[in-house]
């Protein structure tokens, strides 16, 4: 048996390695070359800038869905208010909707029914559920046509949410998420440490990196992603002339093509309706306040849709269904696809689909 003196000597020798081991764990965790802890690459850096309160240039160069997912992983708190939806809702800001509350706009350009659910789930699976969830209901969510599906949406994450959270067992999924065991193993892995050091010392001179907005946020020549998840369109788009807006309206309602995401829209999809109602019940059971928002279309677009109703008869069934849904579940509902019916005019829009955010206060209340 070793003497106490021998044990003390051995302990002293082992202590020499503690700082080295601690340094390895620190590097493996903070540098994280494979994105096991913080997400990988470009979007991780962008999310770090956003968490520091910065706006990011060139939103079109980002993978918006991946950025939202990485942000949800890294934000140190649960936003009190989360908004989902497409670009038609992405100009909703914390200042417009909920001053003084923590907020994140988790919308995505071209958001489809998959994004509708996963925009919530990326936060929920990190244990960061909001107090209030604003569900932005674009009409095409109810259209089962493939045209209404965006190739960028994360179908596997949607299947996971349907299966694990809403109880639709018919949905099976695969996931790339690292398990806790894999993360713990990476923390103490010498090979992961080697990869971390190599990644940290790599030549970044040829890499395109996220850029923080320098100067006036509203004078940028490209779309900006703000720290609250909302976007600010480029100055040329926001300052369109009446003639430019009219030209857009004509192009977006061209008689030779279906209106956006309305091809074969002959009935409200019963599958989405079932999932939507299950989602609302799920949120309410968690004590989350649910608000429905119907983002308006320009009155010209709406009038063309009415004139061409035979091409997409279900379009005009969506809003009555949503209002009935609000009544059924006791939900607040704001907005309308019919801009004229809620007092919006030509000047409130930039094109057929997108409102000037300065006009949002006409139709959205401040959330207390």
- For the chain, the structural domain boundaries read 31-200+208-362
**Region of 109 on the Ramachandran plot (φ > 0 left; ψ -120 to 50 alpha; else beta):** beta
Q: Per DSSP, what are the bridge partners of residue 218?
A: none
Pairing between β-strand 224-225 and β-strand 332-335 as defined by DSSP bridges: unpaired
Pairing between β-strand 224-225 and β-strand 231-232 as defined by DSSP bridges: antiparallel
Distance CA 107, CA 120 (A): 10
SS3 annotation, 182-213: HHHHHHCCHHHHHHHHHHHCCCCCCCCCCCEC
The pLDDT value recorded for residue 1 is 47
Tell me how far CA of residue 179 lies from CA of 37, 182, 190, 246, in angstroms.
11, 5, 19, 52
Count of residues in the chain? 368
Residue 284: CA count within 13 A, CB half-sphere: 14
State the CB neighbour count (10 A cutoff) for residue 318: 20
Distance CA 33, CA 202 (A): 11
DSSP string, 66-104: HHHHHHHHH-SS--SEEE---TTTTT--HHHH-TTS-EE
The pLDDT value recorded for residue 24 is 59
Question: Which class for 70: exposed (0-12), middle (13-18), buried (19 or more C-beta within 10 A)?
Answer: buried
Question: Which class for 273: exposed (0-12), middle (13-18), buried (19 or more C-beta within 10 A)?
Answer: middle
Place of tokens 């962008």: 46
| Nearest of 310, 334, 322 to residue 272 by alpha carbon | 322
Pairing between β-strand 332-335 and β-strand 289-294 as defined by DSSP bridges: parallel
| Nearest of 137, 116, 111, 109 to residue 223 by alpha carbon | 109
pLDDT in tens, the chain (368 residues): 456 556 555 555 555 655 665 665 565 555 565 455 554 567 889 999 999 999 999 888 889 999 999 999 999 999 999 999 999 999 999 999 999 999 999 999 999 999 999 999 999 999 999 999 999 999 999 999 999 999 999 999 999 999 999 999 998 877 765 555 555 655 656 655 555 565 556 555 555 678 999 999 999 999 999 999 999 999 999 999 999 999 999 999 988 788 999 999 999 999 999 999 999 999 999 999 999 999 999 999 999 999 999 999 999 999 999 999 999 999 999 999 999 999 999 999 999 999 999 999 999 999 98
Distance CA 221, CA 240 (A): 13
Q: Per DSSP, what are the bridge partners of residue 212?
A: 56
Classify residue 298 by its DSSP letter: P
Sequence-ordered list of residues with C-beta below 8 angstroms from that of 104, at least 6 positions apart, any chain: 71, 75, 79, 81, 82, 83, 123, 228, 229
Domain made up of 31-200+208-362: CATH architecture:
3-Layer(aba) Sandwich (3.40)
Q: What angle do CA 269, 271, 273 make, to 5 degrees?
A: 70
């Amino acid at each position: 048996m070793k003497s106490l003196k021998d044990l003390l000597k051995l302990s002293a020798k082992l202590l020499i390695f503690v700082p080295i081991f601690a340094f390895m764990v620190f590097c493996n965790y903070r540098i994280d070359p494979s994105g096991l802890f913080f997400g990988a690459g470009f979007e991780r850096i962008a999310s770090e800038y956003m968490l520091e309160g910065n706006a990011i240039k060139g939103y079109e160069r980002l993978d918006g869905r991946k950025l939202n997912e990485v942000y949800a992983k890294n934000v140190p708190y649960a936003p009190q208010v989360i908004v989902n939806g497409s670009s038609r809702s992405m100009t909703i800001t914390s200042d417009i909707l909920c001053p003084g509350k923590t907020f994140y706009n988790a919308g995505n350009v071209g958001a489809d029914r998959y994004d509708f659910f996963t925009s919530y789930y990326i936060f929920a699976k990190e244990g960061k559920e909001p107090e209030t969830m604003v569900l932005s209901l674009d009409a095409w969510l109810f259209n089962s046509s493939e045209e209404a599906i965006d190739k960028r949406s994360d179908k596997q994450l949607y299947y996971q949410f349907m299966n694990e959270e809403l109880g639709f067992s018919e949905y099976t999924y695969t996931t790339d998420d690292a398990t806790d065991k894999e993360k713990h193993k990476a923390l103490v892995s010498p090979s992961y440490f080697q990869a971390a050091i190599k990644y940290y010392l790599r030549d970044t001179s040829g890499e395109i990196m996220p850029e923080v907005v320098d100067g006036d946020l509203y004078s940028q020549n490209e779309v900006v992603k703000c720290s609250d998840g909302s976007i600010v369109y480029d100055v040329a788009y926001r300052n369109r002339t009446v003639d430019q807006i009219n030209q857009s309206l004509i192009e977006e309602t061209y008689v030779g093509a279906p209106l956006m995401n309305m091809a074969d829209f002959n009935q409200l999809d019963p599958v989405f309706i079932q999932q939507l109602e299950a989602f609302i019940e799920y949120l309410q059971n968690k004590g989350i306040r649910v608000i429905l928002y119907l983002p308006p279309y320009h009155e010209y677009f709406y009038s063309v849709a009415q004139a061409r109703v035979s091409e997409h008869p279900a379009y005009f069934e969506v809003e009555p269904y949503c209002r009935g849904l609000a009544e059924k579940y006791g939900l607040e509902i704001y907005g309308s696809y019919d801009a004229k019916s809620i007092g919006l005019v030509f000047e409130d829009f930039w094109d057929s689909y997108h409102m000037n955010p300065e006009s949002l206060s006409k139709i959205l209340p401040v959330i207390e």
